[in-house]
Amino acid sequence: IHFFYKVLTDTKAVAAGKYHTLVLKKDGTLWVAGLNDSGQLGYKNVQVQYRFVEVLSNVSSIACGSFHSLVLKKDGTLLATGFNKNGQLGTSDFIDKKAFVKVLTDVIAISAMGDCSFALKKDGTLWVTGYNSYGQLGVAKNSSINIFTQVFDKVKTASTSGFHSLLIKDDGSVWATGYNYYGQLGTKDRRDRTPWTLIFADPSS
């Protein structure tokens, strides 16, 4: 299709992986379509789903990595499914999941990209899991981790590109970690950073 085509109505949010799509409707239902070879749709045992199908309800937020999916339920429960060879599901193993599994509670916001997953809890702590070869998770070791690990507190928001990551603390300060070859961390050089490095401090704080 080379033009926009209406596929669903009453939508609230969308998220796209490399070859799969999640759509959150206003009524809290989750609809999925696309490639499902690693279980990234969390729907049955099919390789490809060509039409949107409903798979979950009571959903508040969604996020996609390249081949995995995160779903935040209205009660703060975080669910994950799909490709897990770098531990991005946070299930304490490296085994792909074909259906959504519970991985965290008390979550208020999520972010995913590539093979990384971020979760912000309501107490302001940031939890991360997945691919970490460039230090993009901001943990001490530059290797993948397979369980959600707390890396920061007093966090307001956070986001990952899959290779580098940024967060904003409650005091307005900006912190970054990970791949920096193109200067994307704003550190005035090209050196990768890990763990988290202060980039900007709010002078009013």
Average pLDDT, 10 consecutive residues per value, the chain (205 residues): 84 98 99 98 94 98 98 99 99 98 99 98 98 94 92 97 97 97 96 94 76
Q: How many angstroms separate the CA atoms of 76 and 168, rounded?
A: 21
The reported pLDDT for the residue numbered 140 is: 77
Q: How many angstroms separate the CA atoms of 71 and 65, rounded?
A: 12
Give the residue extent of every domain in the chain: 11-162
The reported pLDDT for the residue numbered 1 is: 57
Compute the residue count for the chain. 205
- Taking alpha carbons only, the member of 128, 138, 203 closest to residue 172 is 203
Class of the CATH domain delimited by 11-162: mainly beta
Within 8 A by CB and 6+ apart from 161, the residues are 113, 114, 136, 178, 184
The reported pLDDT for the residue numbered 68 is: 99
The reported pLDDT for the residue numbered 205 is: 63
Helices (H) and strands (E) in the chain, counts: 0, 16
* Runs of H (alpha helix) within the chain: none
